[in-house]
Amino acid sequence: MAIRTMLTESFGLDHPIVLAPMATVAGGHLAAAVSEAGGLGLVGGGYGDPAWLRRELSLARSRTARAWGVGFITWHASHDALALALSFEPHVVLLSFGDPRPYLPAIRAAGCRLICQVQDVDDARAAAAAGADFIVAQGAEAGGHGGERATLPLVPAIVDAVAPIPVLAAGGIADGRGLAAALALGAEGALIGTRFYAAEESLGHPGAKERIERAVGGDTVRTRIFDIVRGYRWPGPYTGRALRNRFLDRWHGREGALAERLDAEAPAFHAAVAEGRFDTAMVWAGEAVDLIAAVQPAAGIVTRVSAEAEHRLRAAADLLV
């Protein structure tokens, strides 16, 4: 038994599951593990650090013979970083948070598929017009950066707006029930982030994974403070969902004061990140942390989420009498 959708057919997958390209967390080992398990592993290209990209993309390519890819933060991407990534021959590039059009020619020339992740219906229409092969409707319950709309009403609105371009759902999905719901909404699969942050193969710090295991959804907050303290000028609509910690409790809602104290706060923050002190350093995490109870191997996550989705779809169909 397997779930077959336009996503699985397009990339030769066994399961309609995509690893969200979480910056610094979704490295080559994790991406390859997801792809080898029959999902689609995406390396988190993030802000485009060349040394990191070279190492992780090389790892991904060497560890899987199946489809894999790489994701970038569009507003921060560069033609150099993209060219470096394409030199490792990924099957797909995911672009999120900005206008994808400047990067389309290079992606097409490399024979790569383009997935655009969007956070509202207008950006979905723009991605469709730009020629995206798949569009990810990302809800605000997602961990890390995102927008303001919630997954459940956003997915069908975007399906209607961009048809017949296939849509994937992201945000709030950490088990097979979420995947089954995404398919019921009309998506062709799901992008899953936080659940894979807590995979054994992820590059997340063990202390961060432990916090994700223990956290509940109400512990997550959309905030700008971790961008401000790191010096990233994220455009207006995007905030990052992270676990509450001492730093967040201190600065969230006092963004102006934090910006004025960067000389003192930024070095201390970077030291906390380097030392894995998560009372200060951020742990990006989505609302679905309620559903994550243990760090597990990526392959087990892929097969369990997919099997549970199959079970849920059969059970839901059995409600029809």
List residues binding a copy of itself (CB under 8 A): 1-5, 120-122, 139-141, 148-157, 160, 171-175, 177-178, 180-186, 216-218, 286-288, 290-291, 310, 312-314, 316-317, 319-321
Q: Which is nearer to a copy of itself, 53 or 140 (CB)?
A: 140
311 tagged catalytic? no
CB of 201 to a copy of itself, least distance (A): 23
Best CA proximity match to 72, nearest among 64, 63, 81? 81
Q: Which is nearer to a copy of itself, 219 or 265 (CB)?
A: 219
CB of 146 to a copy of itself, least distance (A): 11
Question: What CA–CA distance (Å, rounded) separates 236 from 238?
Answer: 6
CB of 122 to a copy of itself, least distance (A): 8
Largest CA distance in the chain: 66
Q: Which two tokens stand for residue 134?
A: 């798949």
DSSP one-letter code for 244? -
Give residue for tokens 């991605």. Answer: 127
Q: Which is nearer to a copy of itself, 120 or 265 (CB)?
A: 120
Q: What single string gives the DSSP state of each residue in 21-48?
A: --TTTS-HHHHHHHHHTTSBEEEEEET-
Q: Which is nearer to a copy of itself, 56 or 141 (CB)?
A: 141
Which residue among 15, 29, 76, 145 is the active-site one? Answer: 145
Q: Is-contact 141 111, C-beta < 8 A?
A: no
Counting other chains too, the contacts that 8-14 makes at CB distance below 8 Å and 24 or more residues apart are 8/189, 10/113, 10/133, 10/134, 10/166, 11/40, 11/67, 11/91, 11/92, 11/113, 12/66, 12/67, 13/38, 13/39, 13/40, 13/66, 13/67, 14/38, 14/39, 14/306
Coil, strand or helix at 239 = strand
CB of 286 to a copy of itself, least distance (A): 7
Q: Is-contact 301 288, C-beta < 8 A?
A: no
CB of 310 to a copy of itself, least distance (A): 6
Best CA proximity match to 248, nearest among 232, 263, 227? 227
Q: Which is nearer to a copy of itself, 92 or 190 (CB)?
A: 190
Residues recognised as catalytic: 145
